[in-house]
Amino acid sequence: MIKSPVAKSLYNFVELDVSEIGNYPEGIIDICDRQVHGLIVKNFLSPEDISRVVSRLTRKDPFPGSPFGDVLIYGPALYICDADITQYCEEAVDFRKYCRQLFSGGVDFETRLTEVLGAMSGGRPVELPVTPDGYAYTPTTIRVLKTGQEMGWHFENQFLHCTPGYRHLETIVEPDDHLSYFVVLSAANAGGELVLYDLEWSETEWPDKEHGGTRKNGLVNGQLIASVMEDYDQMFLSPEAGSLVVFDAGRILHRVSAVEGSRRRITVGGFLAFSKEREKLFYWS
């Protein structure tokens, strides 16, 4: 069990260098079991890897017809899918190829991620979920925020429990312990912080099990979350480029604040959950 979190404020995050992951063999389990709220693993990617990858992310605007509005996202995202996730699965095949090319010449992202998460998962294998039709989920997506752009508030649990695209995943993962991971490829000059609120999933109600996740109509004490969330205490994190962040995003309300300054905030990330009996750790996006 993790005994000495270094950053203690509203939530406890342990900061470590990637060379120290061997000291946290149960780090991911400790987040699920609420011994700690998150891990920040520095130097997950080297400056050379990062600059090579970032120099290849030349696209400036969203893909035509993108479901993410003005925000540029590479790869398919499960939380916006309908119950039939065939198209998502097909796009995942292409995106994994793209990701392999994007990281070529240096460390392969999927290889690195499974190696580092595997070292902290109590010996459990780290795998992509596979649909009954034999399709692998996408391991990750790339999120690009430019000046003024942000990511709205959410709990990852609202996707797991209140969106149709998660129906298969819901049958194979633990229901309570849905974590997020992301690696910072480029940090904003200012803003672009991960903001965590002192408001937890268990305090909220989600009557709309079908589309509550995307409509964000969850309630706290009978009021819409959006209308009261700013009354709750907050914690701000600005991890540096190269860091991997893993945190209890299922149960902690969070958002990413607006990017200030000219440098884009670029992250590559997704979600984590153990299988029902904790025999393996799944990752997807």
Among 81, 113, 249, 259, binds Fe ion (CB under 5 A): 249
Residues 6+ apart with CB under 8 A from 145: 71, 151, 188, 192, 256, 259, 264, 265, 266
Contact 250, 94 (CB under 8 A): no
Spatial separation of the C-alpha atoms in residues 72 and 142, rounded to whole Å: 8
Spatial separation of the C-alpha atoms in residues 209 and 81, rounded to whole Å: 14
Residues in 184-223 that interact with ligand AKG by CB under 6 A: 194
Give the residue at shortest CB distance from Fe ion. Answer: 249
User: Would strands 204-205 and 219-220 be described as parallel, antiparallel, or unpaired?
Assistant: antiparallel
* 276's tokens: 């029902």
Among 13, 95, 137, 182, binds ligand AKG (CB under 6 A): 182
Among 121, 157, 163, 180, binds ligand AKG (CB under 6 A): 180
Nearer to ligand AKG, 254 or 264 (CB): 254
Give the residue at shortest CB distance from ligand AKG. Answer: 180
Q: How far is the CB of 249 from Fe ion (least distance, A)?
A: 4
What ranges make up the beta strands (E) of 128-280?
Answer: 141-145, 151-154, 179-186, 190-191, 194-200, 204-205, 219-220, 223-224, 234-237, 244-247, 252-256, 259-260, 265-274
Residues in 222-261 that interact with ligand AKG by CB under 6 A: 249, 254, 256
Q: How many CA atoms lie within 13 A of 52 on its CB side?
A: 16
Nearer to Fe ion, 129 or 270 (CB): 270
Nearer to ligand AKG, 251 or 254 (CB): 254
Binding partner at 182 among Fe ion, ligand AKG, none, C-beta below 5 to 8 Å by kind: ligand AKG
Binding partner at 116 among Fe ion, ligand AKG, none, C-beta below 5 to 8 Å by kind: none
Residues in 53-72 that interact with ligand AKG by CB under 6 A: none
Question: By the criterion CB under 6 A, which residues form the site for ligand AKG?
Answer: 143, 151, 156, 180, 182, 194, 249, 254, 256, 267, 269
